[in-house]
Structure 1
């Protein structure tokens, strides 16, 4: 059954087939950087937020829709008044798989674009809120076949958002702070060269910034230490290889940049709460 209170509703699990979470906060809130094996739709009902997605920082305002692809690192944090209300939907590939009736081709393509933010017009906001309201009704009442209704409503949401994205101007990432661009460049570098040896000193030399300052501003903007972000990037790629290939685990460890299987095993277990072999067997598949 869903958990509900005033201005709040939680249904399902974040890494499950379908998850719906609506919450209204009045106190400052900042979630740690994270990623998951499910797709995410984020809608800001009220307030303002910063959203760090993969490698860029965005200013999110009320009425914005955000699309997070599987395994993309993201983090939301405060921007101005801490009071805000937001809706988050997570869903699996299986929930909207091609075998499901009514699913059109390319339904998930908007998650693969380098453009996670969709700024809606007032009419578009009203239409999206109507869809969210219908989902909440289905979750609350749980009438026969309500899971199928949730799938249909989610499909409608994604189709309509895809149509809007085709004609909407692309909101620019936050760029008023030159340090944000510097960190964006460093994150892109890590995403490209994660399989090579990456050190603080090497990054410092490449981007002409002192090791101490780089370490401090990277943690301040992304929420990660550099070594933690490098390891998270490597483990994220390892998860995809474990899910999608038959590569041996020792070869995966080497391919993503770990110098030893022992270090890979220790890091994977620390981040995922299980060994890579157990993850491959299906316990960690989203």
Structure 2
């Protein structure tokens, strides 16, 4: 069997979700962004993790924090196979009106670097929290939902303090090519509403279209056009949630010249039409 699931609880887009899985074959993550916070803990193997506009090499004992709506994708590095725990939770799970809420709990999601590389002592501490979460969710004793929140608060508080202690360590790109692709991603993030082609962007960044296309896919996990479309649809989702603008105006404002193409891409990425998405969010 190519994967062994030790634990799954909740739904990924729900208030609280956790999954512990071990894979022995190549795997690429397919969900690109969501409205929940994510904590990713790698137990074994190596992963390339693209988050927002940077690519990270993840090793066992690394904790990864991904803010709501940030684009992210993992892919294999070297030998296939890895083991990891993923936790997703919503604002309403430990929201501002919750007795456990404190702004510092979410500090780790605001850090420029998304990865905490823990020393052995801190890995043991985090593993203890993960073991307690697993035990609670397997046994489901009286009050287990409350204890899950306590354990999540403990993990977030520890991680935010850890990030504050080590925030002076500057992020370094794995190579000049990683830095260049990061700059291209930042350009797409800032100019998604403008006409954008592979040939035009590759010329702007002094690369051949073929070389840029291969490097972009290898480093981010997305093709160039996949990433452009996904960025535009993500911004369209935000406008559908937060404004009453007409759908045709939103399509135009995020860079789609053709409303039919916008509708097809929106449904492909969200499984809903723009109209259904807006209704669902109200």
Q: Residues 94 and 100 of structure 2 are in contact (CA less than 8 Å); yes or no, is this contact kept in structure 1?
A: no
CA distance in 2, matches of 1:89, 1:254: 36
Q: Residues 238 and 252 of structure 1 are in contact (CA less than 8 Å); yes or no, is this contact kept in structure 2?
A: yes
**Residue in 1 that maps onto 2:174:** 175
CA displacement 1:230-264 (0-9 Å, x = unmatched): 11001111112222333332332222112233332
Q: Secondary structure at the match of 2:75?
A: strand
Q: Residues 41 and 67 of structure 1 are in contact (CA less than 8 Å); yes or no, is this contact kept in structure 2?
A: yes
**Residue in 2 that maps onto 1:57:** 55
CA distance in 2, matches of 1:248, 1:86: 42
2:95 to 91, 94, 97: 97
Q: What's the TM-score once normalised by structure 1's chain length?
A: 0.90
**Worse overlay, 211-220 or 34-43:** 211-220
260 and 81 in structure 1: CA distance in 2 versus 1, 3 angstrom threshold: closer
Please report how far the alpha carbon of residue 6 of structure 1 lies from its aligned counterpart in structure 2 after TM superposition: 6.5
120 and 171 in structure 1: CA distance in 2 versus 1, 3 angstrom threshold: farther
Q: Secondary structure at the match of 1:94?
A: coil
CA distance in 2, matches of 1:81, 1:263: 39
Q: Secondary structure at the match of 1:71?
A: coil
Asked if residue 200 in structure 1 is aligned to residue 198 in structure 2, the reply is yes
Q: Residues 33 and 223 of structure 1 are in contact (CA less than 8 Å); yes or no, is this contact kept in structure 2?
A: no
1:11 to 9, 12, 24: 9
Structure 2 residue runs of 5 or longer lacking an equivalent are: none
**Worse overlay, 259-268 or 85-94:** 259-268
Asked if residue 88 in structure 1 is aligned to residue 77 in structure 2, the reply is no
**Residue in 2 that maps onto 1:212:** 210
**Residue in 1 that maps onto 2:36:** 38
Please report how far the alpha carbon of residue 77 of structure 1 lies from its aligned counterpart in structure 2 after TM superposition: 1.8
CA displacement 1:202-237 (0-9 Å, x = unmatched): 102211112222223222322322222111001111
Q: Secondary structure at the match of 2:103?
A: coil
266 and 29 in structure 1: CA distance in 2 versus 1, 3 angstrom threshold: closer
Please report how far the alpha carbon of residue 150 of structure 1 lies from its aligned counterpart in structure 2 after TM superposition: 1.2
Please report how far the alpha carbon of residue 172 of structure 1 lies from its aligned counterpart in structure 2 after TM superposition: 3.3
**Residue in 1 that maps onto 2:114:** 116
CA distance in 2, matches of 1:213, 1:268: 29
Q: Secondary structure at the match of 1:274?
A: coil
Please report how far the alpha carbon of residue 137 of structure 1 lies from its aligned counterpart in structure 2 after TM superposition: 1.1
Q: Secondary structure at the match of 1:42?
A: strand
CA displacement 1:142-173 (0-9 Å, x = unmatched): 12232222122111111110011111253734
Aligned length: 279
155 and 244 in structure 1: CA distance in 2 versus 1, 3 angstrom threshold: farther
CA distance in 1, matches of 2:193, 2:82: 39
225 and 241 in structure 1: CA distance in 2 versus 1, 3 angstrom threshold: same
Structure 1 residue runs of 5 or longer lacking an equivalent are: none
Asked if residue 20 in structure 1 is aligned to residue 18 in structure 2, the reply is yes
Q: Secondary structure at the match of 2:105?
A: coil
